[in-house]
Structure formats: C-alpha cells, structure tokens
C-alpha cells in the first residue's frame, strides 16, 4: 500500500503540555488520608510540571496547607536512585510519579513513614523531626508500620526485617530468603494480576507476622536487554507463561522476636494460588484459588497449630473475579464477602463460621468498589450504580436500603473514594466529562466537604463527547467530534478500543479523553465502545468471552460501529482506523486483520500476540489451561489471522516491557513479513508497558495521528 503525504498535526502546544504534566496528573493531590483525630488531611502532590511528589498536610479547620517533607530535603540535593526491584514494583502498581510515591500513617496518627531511593524515613508529626532508619545495604521494599506503631517492617535482602523505632536497630525476622526463594514479597502474578502487592502481614498485637515464601524453582526467567548497550547483561525476571510452571507459595507465622516459623497448611495441590490474606478485626484469614480460577476457598487459620478451616467455598463455571477488599471482618459479628453467584456483584454479611447472615448490597444495586465500613455507625459505603459509565457514592446502614450519598460535582460523574480518619471521613475524587479530577474530604455525619488543594494546570482543550447506550440493552458508546465539526460533512473514524476484562473505555471522565479529543480535532470522529467482556454489567455479560477473546469482542465493536454510523451520519464508515494499547493493542490488530472489510488501518500498542506467551493467572482465567483448551488459544491468537490480513498495522512496543514482552510484536512482525503483509514497527527503546517520558509521549501521539492521516 502506498501511503499518502499527510497534513501536519495541529495544536502541538496542547500535546506538549499534556505530556509534560503527566497527562495533567502532576500537581493533583493523591493518597489523601485523614488523621485519626479528624483535624488534618495528609496527601502527596508534585508541582504542575514535575513528577517528584512531596508530602503535605491540610488543616481541615483553617484549610491551611503546609509542606511536611520534600525529596530534596531528604536527599540533600542528590538525585533519586531506584533499584530494579523498586522500578518493577512501581510498574506493577502503574505508578509514573517519583519522589514519595506512597506513605504510611501510624495507627495513632503520630508518625509518618516514607521511602526514597531504597531508604526509609520516619517523620514525627508533632515536631517534624525526620529520622532515617538504620537499614542494611540494598533497597527496602514494601515498608509498613506495625499496628501499635512502635516498629517498622520491610523486605530487604529477600527477608523480612523489623526495626523497633525506640532503638533504630535492624533485626532480620525471617531467615534464609534468596532471590529464587524470597520471604515476604508477593510474586509476579499476585502483583500484576491479583492486585496483591504485599507478601507479609502483622498480627493485630504486633508480636508476629505471617509471611509468604515463594519458591521459583522451575519457573521460566525472561531477560530484558538494553538493545543500545549490548555489553550489559539483561535484567532477568521470573515470568510464568500460560500452561507452564507457577511459583510455589506457602505461608509461615513467626514471632517478631525470632524463632522457627509455623507453616500454615491447606490443600495447595488443589488451591495453589494465594489470592488474599487478612489479619485484622478477625482471625488470620486466607483466600486461595485453584489453577483454573473456577473455585476458591475462604480459610481461617490457627497461627499456633498452622491448621486451616474452610469458612466458604465459591465456584463459577467460567471464572471467579478477585476483590482485595474482601473478606472484610466486622469484629464480633462476622465478615463481608463479595460474590457474583446470583448474576451480578453482591455484598453479603456472613457469620464467623461462614454461614450467611444477610445480603447487604443486592445484585441490582450495581456494586462497583468498596469504599469502606464504619462499625460505629454500621455503615457500608461503596461506589457504583446501574450506569457503568459513571460511579456514584452509596451507603447501606445496618443492612437497610441502598442510599445515594450527595457528593460534589456533576450528577453524571466518576467517583473514587476511601474511608479514612478513624472511619469518620471519606477521601473522595470526583470527575466528569466537564471537569478534571478534584479531591475533597467529607465527614460521614455531614458538613461541607473540604477541597484538597491542587496546583495542576487545567487543560484549555474542551471535550465534544456524547455518551449513549446502543439498542437492545447493548454496549455503551462514546463519540468525540472535532472542534470544527460541520454537520453533514463526512469524517474518517478512529475506533479507540480496549474491549477486554476489567477495564472500561466509555466513562464520564475528562482526563482519559483529552488526547482523544485532540486526535478528533485533527479531523476525525473518535468512537469508543464497551462490548461483552467488559465489567460493571452482569456476570453473563462479562463471561460471554470465556474461552474466546476474539469472536464476540470483535463482533461487538463492528456491530456498534454500524449503529453509531446510523446515529452520527457524518462518521464515514468507509474510512475507519482502530487504535489500542495492551489488550486494546491486541484488539486493534485483531480487527484490522480479521475485519479488513470495515477496518482500513490500525495502531496496535504493546499487543499480546500469542496468549501462550502471556502470564498464567490472567490468561488461564479467561481461556483455560492451554492443554485443556487448545482451540481457545488458537482462535484468540493474532497469528491465526495473519494469512487474511490486508490492512496496514503499526506496531508500537517498549523494548523493556516486562508485562507484555517485546517478543509479542516481534513475533507478529516476523509472521506478517514472511506472509508479505503490510505493517510497520515502532520500537520504544528501553520503555516498559507505560510511557511516562514527556517527549516520547508527545512524539508517540504525533506519530499515531500522522499514521491515521496517511492511511485514512
């Protein structure tokens, strides 16, 4: 195919500002926590054009803000240095900020714990005194206060270490940990796919910990070389591919004072995955899963004997979704549990032995995410609702009716919230298609919300977006039109796609749509669709893609395009391109190769090409085990569609990606090259699955826009 000369992109000033402000995230408060006395809110925030976050305190009465600690003060002018393990951990958490990326507040609110360049610091809130903890050589990972606030634990040198703050002397609690068999660290699939980022937990009395031992024997290792520095050895990571060996995980309980661990016992042959661990307001509790993720058990454990008791067994013929907020114990009453067995997400209250007491949030309520539970008022809070494009704050008091909670912002908005401040406050972020995120602190018993101050730049670009549901209770769709839109004029279409599990494209937000509006302003109509397989609908809707990533997902995108074309006749369906990243990159390439009669070109960012090369916990959840479901892997592989490909595909991939490895794009490029199929490859040298560098972000979107100008 001969590409035409494209007109230059416009409004490069927006693209530059979008990139240098980390997509307008820099300068906005994050990690807002209210102190137990209810007087202050703590938060992290960078400057408007800086990624380095500082620690702040907001007086809720006077609304005055002060700086508590800066990275510059801690490092005394030295540059921040991150180990490979720290970088990998931030990658798993999708954190692009630097400086203080997290902090801990002691239970009594007297002390703060921060980490920087692998070292740990404790801040006394009363006088601002900063103490560097005397840790050994090497990065200190996953630091946390003990429940009594007297000690700090962390993982260093593959073992859990503890420092008693009064003495500031490091003590190795676990012993014998190695890189191949570490103690206290969550394994790759736990961090990447389960949402579990820790591998050790304090006992409520602070006298013991339960820790994870991860045996990587037999697990494949992948190397990530720097192509520009062939003299350097590649960094190597344990990476279990679908159908291959996983790390073996077990749990031990050990006293902080030392001794021999007591290993917990459960049927690890049947339930090898350790999904969750909870040791607060109830017994030591585990959630374990089978390899296929069709069955899981909630277990209570006796730390002294190591024996476990089954409280609840959950099963699903397709797969079970994990939620790290559950089980949630209510001291003296029982525990809350989330299930989908009745057709949609539901929250139950169960007795300590696991028997059902009541359903607190019914399936019809549209439960999205837990905000928290305040035992004093018997109030459970959550975000969600029946419209999957928005998220509203709701409460349930003592198992009664679901009630909406009034929050700032537009009626149709997306709210993210957490209970904080001794369960007396909600730290809330609200955004809509008309406003960027704003952060507030709300009292549960009422009163005016207090806004947490932002110094972020506000975009001058305005969205021209319409969101609607397609006919017959079908997918939700969004359409972004160019600012210079002329009714009756035809415009080429760019389909922005994800289309996979656990992510929505069509939402009432501004930030995620800004660059798509910029793309639309280049002379396109941008369309987004959330079809079957996406969350916040019913169990059946999400699980329709079981054992097949390709057929229904592609059909829903194409069908939705036709329906959008009827609603928006200016959309020229003879000129349609598709863009996506990660699962969206997979979908973009899939649509271009398998639906070439509709899709004329594609940009596929970091696509999974052959699902046998992706990790176990994600892939096997949806497609099953490769040896049991070979057809699922064949129909879902992009390699199966190369022979029919006719449309040009631009593959973009970070060469240091340790989630979707660069091998995926190389494998697809090789197959397309050998088959004589049109495509281009843009390697992003030494970038991972994220692209945080401002200049590269700017150039990346210029290239994407130019590609569609050339091909459409």
Low-confidence ranges of the chain (pLDDT < 70): 1-5, 76-79
Q: Which two tokens stand for residue 706?
A: 């130019």
Cross-strand pairs, 312: 298
Residues 6+ away with beta carbon under 8 Å from 582: 498, 605, 606, 607, 608, 659, 660, 689
At 77 the pLDDT is 65
Given a contact cutoff of 8 angstroms between Cβ atoms, the answer to whether 87 and 141 are in contact is: no
Max Cα–Cα distance, the chain, nearest Å: 78
Domains along the chain with CATH numbers = 459-711 (3.40.50.1820)
Given a contact cutoff of 8 angstroms between Cβ atoms, the answer to whether 204 and 279 are in contact is: yes
Peptide bond into 638 cis (omega under 30): no
Query: How far is residue 462's CA from residue 464's CA, in Å, rounded to a whole number?
Result: 7
Q: For the beta carbon of residue 220, count every other beta carbon within 10 angstroms.
A: 12
Of the candidates 247, 307, 244, 301, the one whose C-alpha atom is nearest the C-alpha of residue 276 is 301
Q: What are phi and psi of 15, to 5 degrees?
A: -60, -40
> For helices 511-521 and 694-711, what crossing angle results, to 10°?
40
Chain centroid offset of residue 20 CA:
22
At 1 the pLDDT is 43
Exposure class string for 179-217: b at 16+ Cβ within 10 A, else e = eeebbbbbbbbbbbbbbbbbbbbbbbebebbbbbbbebe
Give the chain's end-to-end CA distance (angstroms, integer): 12
Of the candidates 308, 365, 311, 366, the one whose C-alpha atom is nearest the C-alpha of residue 337 is 311
The 8-class DSSP code of residue 241 comes to B
Query: How far is residue 330's CA from residue 678's CA, in Å, rounded to a whole number?
Result: 59
Contacts 24+ apart (CB under 8 A), 333-336: 335/282, 335/285, 335/311, 336/360, 336/373, 336/380
At 318 the pLDDT is 98
């Amino acid at each position: 195919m001969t590409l035409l000369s494209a007109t230059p992109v416009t409004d490069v000033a927006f693209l530059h500002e979008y990139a240098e402000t980390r997509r307008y995230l820099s300068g906005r408060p994050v990690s807002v926590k209210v102190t137990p006395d209810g007087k202050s809110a703590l938060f992290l925030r960078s400057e408007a054009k800086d990624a380095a976050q500082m620690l702040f305190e907001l007086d809720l009465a006077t609304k005055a803000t002060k700086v508590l600690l800066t990275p510059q003060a801690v490092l005394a002018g030295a540059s921040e240095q991150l180990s490979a393990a720290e970088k990998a951990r931030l990658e798993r958490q999708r954190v692009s900020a630097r400086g203080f990326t997290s902090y801990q507040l002691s239970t009594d609110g007297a002390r703060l714990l921060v980490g920087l360049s692998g070292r740990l610091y404790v801040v006394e809130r009363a006088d601002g005194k900063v103490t560097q903890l005397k840790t050994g050589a090497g990065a200190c990972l996953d630091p946390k206060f003990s429940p009594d606030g007297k000690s700090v634990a962390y993982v260093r040198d593959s073992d859990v270490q503890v420092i008693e703050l009064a003495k500031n002397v490091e003590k190795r609690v676990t012993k014998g940990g190695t890189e191949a068999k570490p103690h206290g660290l969550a394994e790759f699939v736990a961090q990447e796919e389960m949402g579990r980022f820790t591998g050790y937990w304090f006992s409520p009395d602070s006298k013991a910990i339960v820790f994870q031992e991860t045996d990587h024997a037999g697990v494949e290792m992948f190397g990530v070389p720097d192509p520009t520095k062939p003299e350097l050895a590649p960094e190597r990571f344990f990476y279990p591919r679908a159908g291959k060996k996983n790390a073996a995980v077990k749990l031990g309980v050990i006293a902080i004072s030392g001794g021999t661990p007591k290993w917990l016992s459960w049927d690890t042959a049947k339930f090898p995955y350790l999904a969750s661990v909870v040791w607060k307001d109830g017994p030591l509790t585990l959630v374990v899963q089978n390899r296929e993720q069709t069955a899981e058990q909630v277990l209570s454990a006796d730390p002294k004997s190591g024996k476990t008791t089954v409280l609840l067994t959950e099963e699903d013929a397709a797969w079970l979704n994990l939620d790290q907020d559950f089980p949630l114990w209510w001291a003296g009453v029982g525990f809350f549990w989330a299930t989908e067995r009745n057709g949609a997400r539901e929250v139950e209250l169960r007795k300590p032995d696991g028997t059902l007491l009541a359903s607190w949030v019914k399936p019809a309520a549209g439960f999205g995410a837990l905000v928290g539970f305040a035992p004093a008022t018997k109030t459970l809070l959550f975000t969600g609702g029946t419209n999957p494009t928005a998220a509203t704050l709701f409460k349930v008091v003592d198992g009664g009716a679901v009630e909406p909670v009034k929050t700032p912002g537009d009626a149709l908005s997306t709210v993210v919230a957490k209970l904080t401040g001794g369960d007396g406050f909600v730290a809330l972020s609200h955004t809509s298609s008309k406003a960027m995120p704003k952060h507030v602190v709300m009292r549960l018993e009422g009163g005016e919300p207090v806004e947490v101050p932002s110094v972020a730049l506000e975009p001058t670009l305005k969205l021209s977006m319409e969101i609607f549901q397609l006919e017959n209770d079908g997918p939700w769709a969004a359409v972004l039109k160019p600012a210079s839109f002329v009714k009756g004029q035809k415009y080429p279409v760019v389909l922005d796609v994800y289309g996979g599990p656990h992510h929505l494209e069509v939402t009432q937000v501004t930030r995620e749509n800004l660059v798509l509006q910029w793309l639309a302003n280049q002379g396109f109509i941008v369309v987004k669709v959330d079809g079957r397989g996406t969350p916040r609908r019913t169990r059946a809707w999400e699980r329709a893609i079981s054992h097949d990533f390709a057929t229904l997902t592609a059909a829903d995108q194409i069908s939705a395009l036709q329906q959008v074309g009827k609603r928006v006749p200016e959309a020229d369906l003879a000129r349609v391109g598709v863009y996506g990243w990660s699962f969206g990159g997979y979908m973009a390439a899939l649509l271009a190769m398998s639906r070439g009669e509709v899709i004329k070109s594609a940009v596929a960012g970091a696509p999974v090409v052959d699902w046998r090369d992706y990790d176990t916990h994600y892939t096997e959840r949806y497609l099953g085990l490769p040896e049991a479901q070979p057809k699922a892997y064949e129909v879902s592989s992009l390699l199966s569609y190369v022979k029919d490909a006719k449309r040009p595909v631009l593959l973009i991939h970070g060469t240091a990606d340790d989630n979707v490895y660069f091998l995926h794009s190389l494998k697809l490029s090789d197959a397309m090259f050998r088959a004589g199929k049109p495509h281009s490859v843009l390697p992003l040298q030494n970038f991972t699955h994220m692209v945080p560098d401002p200049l590269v972000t700017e150039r990346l979107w210029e290239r994407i826009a130019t590609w569609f100008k050339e091909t459409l």
